[in-house]
Structures are given as structure tokens and as C-alpha cells.
Amino acid sequence: MADWLKIPSKNKRREEDIPEPYEIVCVCGVSLSGYRRKGPYRHACQQCNEAYFILPRNTYPAPKARKKKKQLPKQQQLSDFILNSAFVTRLREKRKAKQEARKPAEANSATETRAEVSPFELPAPRTRLITPFRGILAGIILIVGLTGYGILNSRKMEQASDALKAATQTGNQMLEQEDLIAANDAYQEAFQALTVLGRTDPAANEIRQTSRELLAMNTQAVSPLFEIAEEAVVQIKQSGVDSWKTLFEVRYADTWIIFEATLLPVESLEETEQSRYRLNLPVLLDEYTLYLDLTEPAFEEYLKSHQGQPVIFAAQIVDFQQDASRPDTGIIELNGETAFLWSHLKLYKLLGIEFDEFQNREQIEKLLNQQSRFLGLTE
């Protein structure tokens, strides 16, 4: 067996004439290539003289693949054996004979009687909507949802409480510095925090009242009433009533005016008509008269209990209407829903009002204290 490599097959002898190329890369980067020989040998690099061992040709052919016999799985063999057995064949023949004998009888009775329904054709049983498992699952989901809502609501309340404290402190500091714009921003933030907290105690109502007064002070109408009346006369003469109403809406709608006046009820012909009050401060020009009407004020109970007395209040401008019966008369309508009574003397002074014999400080303070008691605020 020492010379077994020298005994190739006949087919391999025929393949010896086919060259077997090889190619390697030297460490110096030069490509070495050639054809394999019958015996091993060394191939030296001509650039660096590095020698490489080259294997000889393969003298033996590749092994032949064995042919595998197709075999059926054991389960399939067993099932084929059972189905083709004599016993199963007899049963199949008997069943076929019964079916053939039953067909004429079924054809005759199909028109007379209804065939019995097979139990396999019955509808699926109804399932209950509420089951113990579904009830437990719904309870778990409800508990988790309520717990999550409670946690979120608690955090929201804590944040609102912190924001209220910080905003109120900042607003008071700005009021001491008479910075009305910064104070208004701080108190509006405090107002929103009170809305979240839902507080209605006297301290919360005091903050709400201050925020309303600061908002009215910072969003007053750009012109006083006399200038508005003069502007109305000019615009109506030049462009007409419709043009003036459009301009009035752009410039003055939703702005605030602060009044110290007496509100007199306006008699209405219809009982269903809204209650209206007219200020006893008409703006009288040479050729034009301007009235101010307040519709359904929020403090109407105060007006009824203190009839004929002056009132300090703030109201938003809604619209301008021309008197149909008198073309030289106009009416500025005020929003009664957002109107409110004034209560703070300090903020009233910051409007630029100077007390004198006509504006008596004691009388103004007494009037504001009376309105504060009606609002449930501290004097």
C-alpha cells in the first residue's frame, strides 16, 4: 500500500492531460502562478527569493454519490395498509350500498316533509356578553384608570397651587412698583390657577377681582368718550354710518371703559326685552349726542337695591348703533355680562384720578367699600 498514490483510475489517467493552474500572492506582493505537476515542488519568487511549496495534481477522482432509495414514511405505509385491507374495503362497499338505497326515498319525501337538521348544522351557541373574566378585566382597567387620573389631577393641583403663590407674590411686587403691565400678566396667571383649583374663598375672590381690574386698566379704549363722539361726527359725515360702524368695531370693540356714573333703567315696550340701563353721562356736542347703554349687567341686584346712587364700574364696548328716530344721536352698547363693580381704591387712584372737592376721597372710598361688601370682599 506504500505506492497507492501511483494507482489512479483509468478515467483519472485521461484527465492528467488537462492542466491544473494555481496562483498565489507572495509576501512582497508579487503574484506567483503556474500549473501543478505530477510531483510536489517549490516555486521561488524572482523578486524576494521566497520559496513556496506547491502540491501535486490530484490523481484520484471524486467519490461517486450513492443513489438513495425512495422510502415512504412509516405512518403513510401504515395508513395505506389499513385503507387497503379487506375489512375496510367491505365497510366502504356497505356504506356505498346504503347511500344508493337511500336516494330514491329521500327524493320522494323531499316535497312532503322537511328533512331533519343535522346536529352539525345547528347555529353556534350564543356567548354571554358579560362573563366573570370580562368583569374582572373591566374592574382592573377601571381601577388603573381612576388611579392614573387621581395621580395626574393631584400633580396638576400642586402645580396650580405653586403657580398661584408665585404669581400673586410677583403681582403684588409689581403693584408696589406701579408696573401695571407686569402686574396684569402675573394676576392673569393667578386667575388661571384659581380656575384649575376651583377655589371660591374670599382670598380667591380678592385675587379674581384684582385681575379683572388690572385687565380693564391695561385694555382701555384708545380714546376718551369725547374724542369718540367727535370722530363719529366726522366719519358719519364723510363716509356714512356703515363705514363708521366698521371702523368703530375695529378700534373700540372689546376694549374697556371705567365709569363713575349713575345708571338709570330704560323703559321697554315689550316685557320679553332685555333690561337696559343708560348712563347719566351723555356726550353732548353741537350737532351730535352720544349715549351709553348697559344691557343686563351682572350687578343688576346692586343697582336695584341702590337706585339713584353713583356706581364705579368697568364695562367692555360691544357695538355702535345709530338712533333710527334721531339721526343726530348715537348709542354705544356696553357688555353687561362682563361688566363688574370696582372695589380697590389704590388701583382706582392709579388711573390718574386726582381727588379734590368734586372728587372727594372719603366719598369714593365709602362707595368702593359698599361695593366690596356686596361682592363679598374685604374692605
What confidence tens digit (pLDDT) does each residue in 297-351 have?
999 999 999 888 999 999 999 999 888 788 888 889 999 999 999 999 999 988 8
What confidence tens digit (pLDDT) does each residue in 243-279 have?
889 999 999 999 999 999 999 988 876 665 788 899 9
Identify the residue with better confidence: 172 or 76: 172
CATH code that applies to domain 225-341: 2.40.50
Given a cut of 60, is residue 175 above it in pLDDT?
yes
Euclidean distance between CA atoms 193 and 211, whole angstroms: 12
pLDDT at 31: 84
Given a cut of 60, is residue 100 above it in pLDDT?
yes
Report the chain's mean pLDDT, rounded to a whole number: 82
Local confidence band at 114 (pLDDT 50, 70, 90 cut-offs)? low
Local confidence band at 108 (pLDDT 50, 70, 90 cut-offs)? low
pLDDT at 73: 61
Local confidence band at 378 (pLDDT 50, 70, 90 cut-offs)? confident
pLDDT at 267: 81
Q: Are 369 and 339 in contact (CB under 8 A)?
A: no
pLDDT at 3: 58
Domain boundaries, the chain: 18-59, 156-218, 225-341
Taking CA atoms, 206 is separated from 190, 203, 211, 373, in Å, by 11, 5, 9, 12
CA-nearest of 229, 228, 270 to 252 is 228
Q: Are 260 and 312 in contact (CB under 8 A)?
A: yes
Beta bridge partners of 24: 32
